[in-house]
Amino acid sequence: MNSPGRDLFLGRTLDGRYRVRARIARGGMGMVYLADDLRLGRKVAVKAMHPHLVDDENFVRRFGQEAKAAAGLNDQNVVNVFDQGEELGVPYLVMEYIQGETLRDVLKQQKRLTAAQAIEISEAVLKGLAAAHRAGYIHRDLKPENVFLADDGRIKIGDFGLARTADNHTTTSQGLMGTVAYVAPELVTRGAVADARSDIYAFGVMLYEMLTGTQPFRAEQPYQVAIMHTQKDVPRPSDISREATPELDELVRWTTLRDPEKRPKDAAVVLARLHQLLDGGLDAATKVMAPGAGAATTKLPSTTVLRGVDHAAATTHLATTTAAGAGVAGAGTLGASGPAAAAGFSGAGGVAGAGFAGGSGAAAAATPHAAATETNLSENALDRAQYAATKRHKRGLIAAALITVLTLLVTGGAWWFTQGPGAQVAVPDLTGMSLEQAQLTLSEAGLEPHPEQRDCTSPDIPVGAVVEFKPTAATRVEHGTTVQLCLSIGPAQLPVPELVGADTETAKTRIATAGFSFGKIVAERFDAAERGTVLAALDTDHNVLGETYAERAAINLIVSAGPLPEVSGLNAADVASALSAAGLRLDTALNAEEHSDTVPVGKVIRLQQQSETLQVGDAVGLVVSQGPELVTLPNLEGLRMNEAIAQLEELGLVAETGVPGVLRNAVRVNSMSPAAGEQVPKGSTVKLGFEL
């Protein structure tokens, strides 16, 4: 078994083919590694499921869905999945390696995109999404984090971990799928089946975010954002961004209609509409510098945008200028100002940025004409012009060198503090994790778990799981910082207060003050104690509590229902009323009769109980008096006195005679009162006469 915290994949060769070199990303379902495909000699990305999720059938199923969804697509705008397998019981996918960044990264850097950038990305996303929809797959988690911008200019959508086939009618009853900021209203209000129109809604929200730099709905809690999607229309991007034209406003409105029936049916429909707008001269639909004009012309942050100029002429001019600029991608706009500059491009009516020389665009464009007309320049003038040009060239080289040095310093500093030794990471929340899970999570975050753990009591966290840790969650610390874990040993054992004999309300107060919780009154038992007095305190298994008990555990009580009603000598009807008032049930099947010397015939002697103790709700019967038991006197005359006395005692009667005990065997009975044959109650006295 692998030790906790050790990475299972680093350095391994999977399936004899994929040699794992390094970690490159961590997602909700798995870790992504850079690997070498030894068979085809190329770099690939390997996505391995987190080991602690392997036992969760739902995650394994979703992981397999991603493989099937992406492998079933063959489109240049979808991240390709090449292979899948299992290593040490952990599933993995082998995917196309995209060197670059995500749309989310670009939005963080630029805040918002220009219209041209947003259109370029939208077209690629819609192409990939249309391919998925044609193949019968719904993405269900479209967002900037899942749009990949390669350094070579390719734009792809990936992460099909939540994808499903269009004919798999799985609703959202088990929780909203995807990210709440991009969730379609019907998935919130009706738990509807996600379909292509749900992806279209997410695309519309993403287009809004590209143009404005913010999501349309924001709130403190995710559920509040979800509700806002159902109650509000997505605003027009032009309300906060000058990049958005009326056509782009309309595209956002159409794709984010709250009623899915009014939304485009799939991505192909939206893509067709986007092409119509581009062909029709969409105000913001500006051309992007074609690949080949510079070393990195297709990387989005360096894209050169053309606005307000003739596209054909501008394209020709840019191609010529870039060739003179040592093949470095342009970083500015031609004839643009305003929002373009805010997005990392400089304007002022000229081509600005590395690789473009000169002042205004107009001046640069007019150079050939000026050279043709100034034929009368003197040699000195030409020399001065050449000298000035040389100085400008040198100043340009010096400025370029300074810019390069500053860029390297900034980039190096950014690397040092974000990925290098000076980087800081946020401590993940480990609460409730097992020791093995916590150690692995810390290792993946670049932190070190302390080799020894402390013990902590907790009424909520299972024994052996993490209760607390230092530094605490979200604290930013340096890579390699040691985190001390405190594991649960269960709840603390606290002393039980005196409860028996207290009234119910006093007992509840004592329970709370002592650190426990009041459970319930499990029984009201009839007792001589006053009604409501606690007779016993029990644990949750109904055992009598000892001296200590688990912190915050529930304490149940048995309390007195008061004394039983007095029933002796009452008739049955009166007793029935008294029992009902006390909360007891009269069951005539339990009734019985007895002789009684004290209770008249037909009156109740006592209650007939099925158990030694009675509690509210129990059933009882009545024991009714038959009066005293009668005995028929036998004829005792002629018997020796001691024989007569023995017979009377056997019948429960008492003999009265004046004969001393020593003489009783010598005398005989000659009379008795009452007389023989009469009936007398048991215990009666019979007088015996005698003769020698």
Residues 71-110 pLDDT 10s: 677 789 998 889 889 998 899 999 999 888 999 999 999 9
Q: Do domains 493-560 and 630-690 have the same CATH topology?
A: yes
pLDDT tens-place string over residues 141-152: 899 999 999 988
Q: Which residues pair with 34 in a beta bridge?
A: 22, 45
Q: Which residues pair with 560 in a beta bridge?
A: 525
DSSP per-residue string spanning 307-349: -SS-HHHHHHHHHHHHHHTTTPPP-B-BS--THHHHTT-B-TT
Task: Give the per-residue pLDDT at 451.
Answer: 84
| Per-residue pLDDT band at 192 (split at 50, 70, 90) | low
| Per-residue pLDDT band at 301 (split at 50, 70, 90) | very low
Q: Who has greater pLDDT, 218 or 297?
A: 218
SS (H, E, C) 352-410: CCCCCCCCCHHHHHHHHHHHHHCCCCCHHHHHHHHHHHHHHHHHHHHHHHHHHHHHHHH
Task: Give the per-residue pLDDT at 4.
Answer: 43
Task: Give the per-residue pLDDT at 6.
Answer: 63
Mean pLDDT of the chain: 78
Residue 556 clears pLDDT 50, i.e. is over it: yes
CA atoms within 13 A on the CB side of 409: 6
Q: Which residue spans within 394-507 are E strands per DSSP?
A: 424-426, 448-449, 454-456, 466-470, 476-478, 482-488, 493-495
Kindly indicate whether the domain formed by 630-690 is annotated with CATH number 3.30.10.20: yes
CA angle 291, 297, 298 (to 5 degrees): 70
- Asked if 137 and 69 touch (Cβ cutoff 8 Å), the reply is yes
- Tell me what percent of the residues of the chain surpass a pLDDT of 90: 55
CATH of domain 570-625: 3.30.10.20
Q: Who has greater pLDDT, 223 or 387?
A: 223
What are the residues whose beta carbons fall under 8 Å from the beta carbon of 391, sequence distance 6 or more? none
Residue 56 clears pLDDT 50, i.e. is over it: yes
CA angle 470, 471, 473 (to 5 degrees): 105
- Asked if 473 and 427 touch (Cβ cutoff 8 Å), the reply is yes
Task: Give the per-residue pLDDT at 191.
Answer: 64
Given 37, 75, 141, 239, the catalytic residue: 141
Check if 141 is active-site: yes
Gap between the Cα atoms of 599 and 383, Å rounded: 146
12-96: CATH superfamily: Phosphorylase Kinase; domain 1 (3.30.200.20)
Residue 310 clears pLDDT 50, i.e. is over it: no
Q: Who has greater pLDDT, 297 or 24?
A: 24
| Per-residue pLDDT band at 58 (split at 50, 70, 90) | confident
Task: Give the per-residue pLDDT at 81.
Answer: 87
Task: Give the per-residue pLDDT at 358.
Answer: 31
Gap between the Cα atoms of 32 and 49, Å rounded: 9
Task: Give the per-residue pLDDT at 333.
Answer: 29
- Give the residue-averaged pLDDT of 179-197: 84
pLDDT tens-place string over residues 476-517: 998 889 999 999 999 999 999 999 999 999 999 999 999 999
Task: Give the per-residue pLDDT at 179.
Answer: 74
Residue 407 clears pLDDT 90, i.e. is over it: no
pLDDT tens-place string over residues 429-455: 999 999 999 999 998 888 999 988 999
pLDDT tens-place string over residues 145-177: 999 999 889 999 987 644 444 444 444 433 344
Task: Give the per-residue pLDDT at 248.
Answer: 96
Question: Domain 493-560, what fold?
Answer: Trypsin Inhibitor V; Chain A (3.30.10)
Q: How far is CA 656 from CA 624, 631, 674, 684, in A?
A: 33, 17, 12, 10
Kindly indicate whether the domain formed by 100-164+174-280 is annotated with CATH number 1.10.510.10: yes
- Give the residue-averaged pLDDT of 378-390: 41
Q: Who has greater pLDDT, 424 or 607?
A: 607
Gap between the Cα atoms of 382 and 397, Å rounded: 22
- Give the residue-averaged pLDDT of 46-64: 79
- Asked if 682 and 638 touch (Cβ cutoff 8 Å), the reply is no
Q: How far is CA 291 from CA 190, 287, 344, 502, in A?
A: 46, 12, 20, 87
| Per-residue pLDDT band at 403 (split at 50, 70, 90) | low
- Give the residue-averaged pLDDT of 400-412: 51
Q: Who has greater pLDDT, 78 or 59?
A: 78
- Give the residue-averaged pLDDT of 56-83: 77
Spans of all domains in the chain: 12-96, 100-164+174-280, 493-560, 570-625, 630-690
- Give the residue-averaged pLDDT of 4-12: 74
